[in-house]
A and B are shown apart, each in its own frame.
Chain A
Amino acid sequence: GESVGLHLPTLSVQEGDNSIINCAYSNSASDYFIWYKQESGKGPQFIIDIRSNMDKRQGQRVTVLLNKTVKHLSLQIAATQPGDSAVYFCAENFSSNTGKLIFGQGTTLQVKP
């Protein structure tokens, strides 16, 4: 029979190219957003975060963009490397009062050597 499950969006890029991973969040009142990376057999690991009063934040090789108008986040990875291959999740903090952290669906990034 056919298996039913989440078909994670997959982004396939060539090593050295830039990657852009997108995420739509659900709560317009969310005030804090985080990108996580999950490698096979491991728990999600923090990459970068952004507060709702910002629209851009840069880290080492990564940039997060926030568009509150359309409730959209993106993660840009510069000069993608094979070690970047993983599943990437965005998470939203539902409100600063609760600390409740909700995750999006996830995107699989495949880096071709």
Chain B
Amino acid sequence: DAGVIQSPRHEVTEMGQEVTLRCKPISGHDYLFWYRQTMMRGLELLIYFNNNVPIDDSGMPEDRFSAKMPNASFSTLKIQPSEPRDSAVYFCASKETGGVTEAFFGQGTRLTVV
């Protein structure tokens, strides 16, 4: 397996534009996590899914952020409209069922909103 795949690796967009980040989890993993990493706040959990169902979205900062998982092999994180303070590295991670398993991370998407 190629691991967790995120796209794009880098995204530069203008304030007000819609941004969509994509993630393909490891096949067979049924948990998927979206994290945001900034110097200010470290590594924050935004939302996570189990079997394609959102379980906890309490970390999603505002209504401008939304995430979907239409099937077991694909998830998106959308920001609309984007703002400069959304600039960060966004990571997707997946893990197998059961609590005592580690999560595997993608390489991240570095988002810059100008």
- A interface residues with partner B (beta carbon < 8 Å): 4-6, 31-32, 34, 36, 42-46, 49, 51, 89, 91, 93, 95-106
Contact = CB atoms under 8 A, between A and B. Distances in A.
A45 B105 contact: yes
Contacts of B108: 42-43
Contacts of A4: 40
What is the predominant secondary structure among interface residues of chain B facing chain A? strand
B40 A99 contact: no
Nearest to A51: B100
Given A43-B91, A46-B104, A99 B99 contact: yes
15 contacts: A5-B39, A6-B40, A31-B100, A42-B108, A43-B93, A43-B108, A44-B43, A44-B105, A46-B103, A93-B100, A97-B99, A99-B31, A99-B95, A100-B56, A103-B35
A46 B48 CA distance: 19
A100 B33 CA distance: 9
B43 A31 contact: no
A55 B55 CA distance: 30
Contacts of B105: 36, 43-45
B106 interface: yes
B45 interface: yes
Contacts of A51: 100
B50 interface: yes
B31 A89 contact: no
A29 to B, nearest CB: 11
Contacts of A43: 4, 91, 93, 105-108
B40 A5 contact: yes
